[in-house]
Structure 1
């Protein structure tokens, strides 16, 4: 699936990137406050710091704004996720960090992820297909890690279980945002990571010391 071509009257790619970043940031705030359908392009322009005429120099339609938001969310998640990873870690420590880093990135992008979940259904079929394809690429990243962990006899998943295991990780991260009205009353991000990862590892067949026990990591943290 090819990236959607969002029209721009401006040719300077650096300026396009800068202005669209402003648009995305403003749109996330407005879409969370009012919803995609109630927020107007004029309001997005005003919140972005420029006129409606200037806004349309960088987009062709209101849907382009939502598409840019969804596209940016996945790119930023992957970029921040990779920066948090320690390439020296191996084995169970590596698998733990892969999942925890993902959860913490989602925590830092809560508003963006919430907009994506609530409003992506308003995208055209073509744009939505592209956005969903990016999520499947994230799923593939988790599957790669789980398969390495299986080859090291860390996780014990049947072939038919890998796909669902990856979806479980993705949803567990996203749940921190779309259920935050309830979950964040009882947990902070540290305790959420601890218990979610513990439950995920159990479901992956990781040999824990005993039910409910914790695994001490080299960094001093626990699962």
Structure 2
């Protein structure tokens, strides 16, 4: 009902952010459209110009999360050709996106089952595409001999769960690790043990380059 695409996206995002906060605090089933309208600083009638019902709000909220994973990881890999570096950057990017969308990531775990079956399938399809991207990074490492043969599908899911865990268990992690420290620990736990000798050499080289870039210049 609203013709300006930019206004549509801006209003939807405003409403979705309000909904994420309320769904997270009050629960999806308890939250009302009226509460979302108040939190978003708009009217109930205006919300219905952008969403058909409360389930539409939830669906587009969860789709925003899944689309962010799928669309924002690839730009971090542009210009990165080495398989080990691509895998490490994909894991770091995934964790960074989850950090920005912590409440919405937790909401996806809590409330996906509240969607109708066909919408749950769309959310699962989106997650599967991101998982396949991560799996492709693993496969490139094993194919080139930088990582020993592994169950690529299962290992990719471990990376996915590790990234999601930053949101799911943030109450515990936040006082122990920065995001950067968490990613570094994840690399040690989930990447290093599977590397071959030449894979370890590459990772050591990448770390040396990062440390050099982070060191202040010597006058």
What displacement does 1:214 show?
10
Does residue 26 of structure 2 align to residue 28 of structure 1? no
What are the superposed Cα offsets for residues 113-166 of structure 1, whole Å, 9 maximum, x if unpaired?
1111111121111111110110000011011111111122111124xx111011
**Structure 1 residue matching 2:51: 3-state secondary structure:** coil
Q: How does 1:148-167 map to 2 (within 5 A)?
A: 148-158=140-150, 161-167=151-157
Look up the match of 2:215: none
Look up the match of 1:43: 35
Look up the match of 2:133: 141
Distance in 2 (alpha carbons) for counterparts of 1:168 and 1:68: 26
Distance in 1 (alpha carbons) for counterparts of 2:120 and 2:48: 22
Distance in 2 (alpha carbons) for counterparts of 1:178 and 1:75: 19
More helix by share: 2
- Choose the corresponding residue for 1:126, options 88, 112, 118: 118
Look up the match of 1:63: 55
Look up the match of 1:188: 178
Does residue 184 of structure 2 align to residue 201 of structure 1? no
- Choose the corresponding residue for 1:171, options 158, 161, 165: 161
Distance in 2 (alpha carbons) for counterparts of 1:206 and 1:44: 52
Q: How does 1:96-115 map to 2 (within 5 A)?
A: 96-115=88-107
- Choose the corresponding residue for 1:218, options 209, 212, 218: 209
Structure 1 residues 16 and 152, CA, compared in 2 at 3 Å: closer, same or farther? same
**Structure 2 residue matching 1:219: 3-state secondary structure:** helix
Task: Mark the runs of 5 or more structure 1 residues left unpaired by the alignment.
Answer: 1-8
Q: How does 1:7-26 map to 2 (within 5 A)?
A: 9-26=1-18
Note if contact 2:84-2:146 (Cα within 8 Å) is conserved in structure 1.
Answer: yes
**Structure 1 residue matching 2:207: 3-state secondary structure:** coil
- Choose the corresponding residue for 2:87, options 85, 95, 99: 95
Structure 1 residues 148 and 92, CA, compared in 2 at 3 Å: closer, same or farther? same
Structure 1 residues 171 and 214, CA, compared in 2 at 3 Å: closer, same or farther? farther
What displacement does 1:197 show?
1.5
Note if contact 1:165-1:204 (Cα within 8 Å) is conserved in structure 2.
Answer: no
Task: Mark the runs of 5 or more structure 2 residues left unpaired by the alignment.
Answer: 213-219
Distance in 2 (alpha carbons) for counterparts of 1:217 and 1:22: 43
Distance in 1 (alpha carbons) for counterparts of 2:58 and 2:190: 32
RMSD: 2.3
- Choose the corresponding residue for 2:71, options 79, 84, 104: 79
Q: Number of residue pairs matched? A: 209
